[in-house]
Amino acid sequence: MFDGPSPAGMTGPEIPESHPRYESLLTRHRIEDGVDRGLTSKQGLIAQGRGEAFDYLLGEETIPSADDAERAAAAHLQRADHPVLSVNGNVAALVPGEIVSLAEATDADIEVNLFNRTDRRIERIAGHLRAHGAERVKGQTADGRIPGLDHERAKVDADGIESADVVLVPLEDGDRAEALGAMGKTELVVDLNPMSRSARAATVPIVDNLIRALPNVTAHAEALRGASPAELDSIIESFDADAALAAAERRIRDA
Ligand code: ATP
């Protein structure tokens, strides 16, 4: 059951909490609402549909290998010099408050980074995040570039994603995930499809629904707040990305 915060007007009074598919319906409602508010693109609806199918096969729960990945991601964020959390239209619609909490727990920057970039949508998403408590939202300066991508999709902030050492990119598209990897960044990807290019390009692939993954990364980050560098390094080194992807794929194929 979804028990996270429910921003006003985003839950839909027509969904009773006792409904067996409450979490899934709530997620759908948030994405629809995101499209109505001009936060999420229509393509975001299609991405949501793909995600739901994988989540259904995963049993709509955080599998043990995903929890390990969430802990490894938290260790990377705590160990980073300059961590950045990248936000697109689906992330803004689904987990705005949770992104702000994770940024606070890890001293990370938040940057809006869109596949279909428009200034209007970036401004709306930044405003939505500020309404959920974000102090500063990057992504509007666009004075940095990701090498190897076409002009619009390459745009990032020079003091944000371009200069980050660790980037959390929930629901990133495959091309950009590969290009960020080629820049030598540590990439933490949340994607329900363990076979997607983004998940395969990641240093830490988190195969879990964003609405479960983000609060869990934050909980791990809070638990690791006082950890020594050696302790964080040992969590980072013991995580095996290929094994995590294989475990998720096994779960899906055995469903
Ligand atoms: P590739 O990474 O192989 O290039 P893609 O970028 O074409 O794939 P999209 O169709 O853009 O993939 O789909 C977005 C991805 O986001 C899908 O793999 C889907 O499983 C995932 N996804 C959608 N909603 C969520 C969610 N709530 N939590 C986690 N992952 C999600």
pLDDT tens for 192-241 read 999 999 999 999 999 999 999 999 999 999 999 999 999 999 999 999 99
What is the residue with the minimal CA distance to atom 4 of ligand 1?
A: 174
Query: For 14-34, what is the mean pLDDT?
Result: 85
Name the band, by pLDDT with cuts 50, 70 and 90, for residue 24: confident
What is the residue with the minimal CA distance to atom 16 of ligand 1?
A: 171
| Strand 204-206 to 186-190 pairing | parallel
Quote the CA–CA distance of 85 and 161 in Å, as a whole number.
8
Q: How far is the centre of ligand 1, averaged over its atoms, from the C-alpha of 170 (Å)?
A: 9
Among 50, 99, 211, which residue has the most ligand 1 atoms within 8 Å of its CB, making it the best to mutate? 50
Q: How far is the centre of ligand 1, averaged over its atoms, from the C-alpha of 54 (Å)?
A: 10
- Portion of the chain with pLDDT greater than 90, in percent: 85
Task: State the pLDDT at residue 12.
Answer: 53
Q: How far is the centre of ligand 1, averaged over its atoms, from the C-alpha of 227 (Å)?
A: 32
Residue 63's SS3 state is: coil
Torsion of CA 230, 235, 236, 240, to 10 degrees: 150
Task: State the pLDDT at residue 13.
Answer: 52
Query: For 142-166, what is the mean pLDDT?
Result: 94
pLDDT tens for 176-189 read 999 999 999 999 99
pTM listed for this prediction: 0.92
Token output for 40: 């999420």
Quote the CA–CA distance of 153 and 148 in Å, as a whole number.
10
Question: Does residue 243 surpass a pLDDT of 80?
Answer: yes
Q: How far is the centre of ligand 1, averaged over its atoms, from the C-alpha of 71 (Å)?
A: 21
